[in-house]
Amino acid sequence: MTYSGRIKEEISKIDSEKIEYISELSGILCTNADIKLYSIRVQTENLNAANRIFKIVKEVYNVTSNITVKKNYNFKKNEVYIIEIKKNVPEIIKDIGLMNETGFKIETTPREEIVADDNLKSAYLRGCFLICGSVNDPKTSRYHLEIIESTEDQAEFINGLINSYNLNSKVLRRKKGYMVYIKEAEKIGDFLKLIKAFNGVMYFEDIRAYREKVNLNNRINNCEQANVEKSMASSNRQIKDIEIIKAYDAYDLLDDKVKTVAEYRIKYPESSLIELSEIISVETKNKITKSCVNHRLRKIRELAEKLQKK
């Protein structure tokens, strides 16, 4: 089972109050349903979503939905579940906030009381994700969570709900419908917590922490490697400067302190400046700082450049 599948399985088993069931059903039907005044028809490839719709309608309205299973031969071979509700339809449409005041027109987004508080918002978004949402497994891919909507009004409505929690979601127009998506790992974790997918959150955060630790170690290793290569390049250039001075028989122009640094640089070519200063301090019993070592190597550099110009 995919990570999205595990999330949907988890949230499909949440027990709720009647009012929350209605908000969740509203999220499901607003997102993916053919709603008429005499029937409601929902199609999904997710068995947990189909069972959830059946359960809510049965518990809240004592209506048994018809479920038809058929094969999907359009590239995928998944089974498609078609849920049809043919009883108490006007009551259901009114309860989920889609019936307008005249009683003859169905709206594309629900009334505000469907998402009047945090629990109802959570339930509504849970229904939206259950029926048309997906999230990438943090172990195998980039961070990405999305909910696909058929209308722009519904996409913007969901986007507004999500961003009321500062989750930085966005809406993108696609060939068929609209995508509400979140890209930031921390925000995806917050969304999963919002819809009460707590096991999914724990898995997501564990993998995210592991990936961030690996990435941090990689960055540290890259920095260390870059520093080593930079230090070696500087050391090679300094040794070359010393060799130029010797080639011009100008080594005696250097004072004894500079000569000492030159000799240790040749002796310890892989050492950084701070390591070189520590080695010289220990072996000569004369304290020397990194900046002092650098100053004397700069004198060697200046003499080598003068000799080359001449």
Alpha-carbon distance of 60 to 235, in angstroms, equals: 78
% of the chain residues with pLDDT over 70? 96
Task: Give the strand pairing for 145-149 and 66-71.
Answer: unpaired
Alpha-carbon distance of 166 to 195, in angstroms, equals: 15
- Give me the domains of the chain, ranges plus CATH numbers: 3-196 (3.10.28.10), 231-309 (no CATH)
Q: If you search the block for the tokens 């006007």, which residue do you land on?
A: 90
pLDDT, position 73: 65
Alpha-carbon distance of 10 to 4, in angstroms, equals: 10
pLDDT, position 253: 84
What is the tens place of the pLDDT at every residue in 214-237? 777 777 777 777 777 777 888 888
Taking 50 as the pLDDT cut, the residues of the chain under it are none
Alpha-carbon distance of 110 to 94, in angstroms, equals: 10
pLDDT, position 250: 85
| Residue 49 contacts residue 148 (beta carbons within 8 Å) | no
> Which strand ranges, in their side-by-side order, compose the sheet holding 34-35?
34-35, 40-44, 79-85, 66-71
Alpha-carbon distance of 309 to 244, in angstroms, equals: 12
pLDDT, position 247: 87
pLDDT, position 107: 76
Alpha-carbon distance of 182 to 145, in angstroms, equals: 5
What is the 8-class DSSP label of residue 281?
H
Q: Residue type for 285, please?
A: K
